[in-house]
Amino acid sequence: MDPKLSNRSIWTGRVVSGLAVAFLVLDAALKLLRVPAAVEGTAQLGWPAAVIVPLGLIQLGCLAAYLWPRTAPLGAILWTGYLGGAIATHVRVGSPLFTHVLFPVYVSVLLWCALWLRDLRMRTLVRL
């Protein structure tokens, strides 16, 4: 008998992915459009304004990899690395722990949990 995911699991994974992806799309769009709040926030974190658009493009690449079913695990790995850099940046500038430093962890957990719920390959790799 072939293992199979339930429709409930697949849809729950899609909804959870949607929550994380909605935030990540918004963040990428703010960077790509060089919204003044994004430029100011990036500068407050110690990054020059010139990195905003490249960061937005990197985010779009990670999103594309995550949203394409065949490359979704690679996308999750790429996002984990990107968000790890965000954690390091927030630690370096002394941001509040639960609201700023750990927020990328929350997003990463959503991405990985959603992938586990909707992707049989992840279930075979990580058995709970």
pLDDT digits (tens, 9 = 90+) for 88-120: 999 999 999 999 999 999 999 999 999 999 999
Number of domains, the chain: 1
pLDDT value of residue 127: 80
Please report, for the chain, how many H helices and E strands are present, in that order.
6, 0
Encode pLDDT of 59-71 as tens digits.
999 999 999 999 9
What's the domain range around 64? 7-125
Output the CA angle 54-58-63, nearest 5 degrees. Answer: 145
Whole-structure pTM value? 0.91
Instruction: State both tokens at 74.
Output: 């690679």
Task: Identify the residue with better confidence: 122 or 111.
Answer: 111
The residue whose two tokens read 């963040």 is: 27
Contact yes or no for 121/4 (Cβ under 8 A): no
Q: Which helix (H) or strand (E) holds 21?
A: helix 7-32
> Is 2 among the domain residues?
no
pLDDT beyond 90 at 74: yes
pLDDT value of residue 49: 94
Instruction: State both tokens at 23.
Output: 């935030």
Q: How far apart are CA 118 and CA 33, in angstroms?
A: 32
> Is 1 among the domain residues?
no
Encode pLDDT of 13-64 as tens digits.
999 999 999 999 999 999 999 999 999 999 999 999 999 999 999 999 999 9
Query: Phi, psi (5° rounding) for residue 52?
Result: -65, -50
pLDDT value of residue 1: 40
> Is 49 among the domain residues?
yes
